[in-house]
Amino acid sequence: MKTSPNFESFQVRKWYTQIEDTLTNESGLHADGAPLRKIVIAAAILNPFAGRSVHDLSEVVNASPALGHEFARRIRQLLGNDKVESYGKACVVGADGEYEHGNAFLTSVFADPVRDAVGGGKAWVPSTGKRGGVNTTIDIPLAHKDALYVRSHYDTVSALFADAPNRDEVVIAFAFASRGRLHARLGGIKASEIKGQDGLH
């Protein structure tokens, strides 16, 4: 059955939101400060390239800012007055697609509206992805949005998107964290010491 777009030029079947709050670390130590909140927003989208080999993926790249603005709207709505310190993005591509199809959704033109929504970000957005079937779990990498060398903020969030992706779909996800790991103690630059000049320090 042929489907028609229902969100800009995309056919979106489902939106997902996952929120987790961690109050103690694995040893039971209470949070050293505020609890760690992680948020994942994702969409199951019809893959326009499913089942065929396409050299030029600009159809998705050029249209992806519209998705970025919707991800941005959704994270702003969830955050209220709360802040984001870390972020990351990911894709899960259904079996009829290529991993590269998922990456076409995740370029900087998609991510830039999301950066703006969380107060900007000097650092590149860590990314991962894979091909998989319905209920595939993926670990989304997280790093500080303004300085990649902040070790306390190297983290992941695991997500599973029930009922997706279908063979001809891509799940696109963006993850956010309110702070670094609880009781991080591996040294390096502290978040309070970030210079914010080059996305590294």
Going from N- to C-terminal start, the domains of the chain cover: 12-193
The pTM of this model reads 0.94
- Say how far apart CA 24 and CA 47 lie, in whole Å: 40
- Say how far apart CA 23 and CA 143 lie, in whole Å: 20
Residues in the chain: 201
| Confidence band for 43, pLDDT divided at 50, 70 and 90 | very high
Structure confidence by residue, pLDDT tens digits, 137-189: 999 999 999 999 999 999 999 999 999 999 999 999 999 999 999 999 998 88
Instruction: Assess whether pLDDT exceeds 80 at residue 80.
Output: yes
Instruction: Assess whether pLDDT exceeds 70 at residue 40.
Output: yes
Across the chain, mean pLDDT equals 94
The confidence score (pLDDT) of residue 198 equals: 78
**Superfamily, domain 12-193:** BB2672 (3.30.1330.110)
Higher pLDDT, 182 or 195: 182
Structure confidence by residue, pLDDT tens digits, 93-116: 999 999 999 999 999 999 999 999
| Joined tokens for residue 97 | 């697609």
Please state, as a whole number, how many other Cβ atoms lie within 10 Å of the Cβ of residue 158. 13
Backbone φ, ψ for residue 59 (5° rounding): -55, -45
| Confidence band for 2, pLDDT divided at 50, 70 and 90 | low
